[in-house]
Amino acid sequence: MKAKTCLKIAAIAGFSGVALGAFGAHGLKKVLSPELMSAYQTGVLYHLIHAVVLLVLSAWLFVHPTVWLQRSAVMMLLGLILFSGSLYALALTGERLLGMITPFGGVAWLVAWSFLLLAAIRLPEPKSFTSEK
């Protein structure tokens, strides 16, 4: 994923996370059971956290584009869609089978964070700025 694409996705993810959070807080509070509302809120929380992660990844990709950062961004997005999306769908429909998708999103995020670690390990050491006397 290119830096500009990642930035656009981060913006969409942030916008949609805030919108879905507001919808849940104002439109679903009296409609959903406490258990389903908790699932929905968990989806929103992880949605917003990973929107910020995508934003940071986009900045890093602008400065130092690497294949591992690109892979991490793709897996972060996949995790967001599978994890949060399945929790939203579960909460709105009450269909418990949708909860079987959620762990796949969690695994995608674990892979994404592992790719981010690989990117960090492969970063060259910064040049030191020592003052000459």
DSSP result, 42-101:
HHHHHHHHHHHHHHHHHHHHHHS--HHHHHHHHHHHHHIIIIIHHHHHHHHH--GGGGGT
- What is the mean pLDDT of the segment spanning 39-65? 97
Q: What is the pLDDT of residues 21-32, one digit of tens each?
A: 999 999 998 899
- Burial class from Cβ neighbours inside 10 Å (0-12, 13-18, 19+) for residue 128 reads exposed
- What is the mean pLDDT of the segment spanning 68-87? 98
- What is the mean pLDDT of the segment spanning 4-19? 98
Its pTM stands at 0.90
Q: Cα(34)–Cα(108) distance, rounded to whole angstroms? A: 27
Of the chain, the percentage scoring pLDDT greater than 70 comes to 96
Cα end-to-end span (Å), the chain: 45
Answer whether residue 57 shows pLDDT above 80: yes
Place of tokens 């869609």: 81
- Would you state the pLDDT for residue 127? 79
Q: What angle do CA 73, 56, 79 make, to 5 degrees?
A: 35
Q: How confident is the model at residue 89 (pLDDT cuts 50, 70, 90)?
A: very high
Q: How confident is the model at residue 131 (pLDDT cuts 50, 70, 90)?
A: low
- Would you state the pLDDT for residue 10? 98
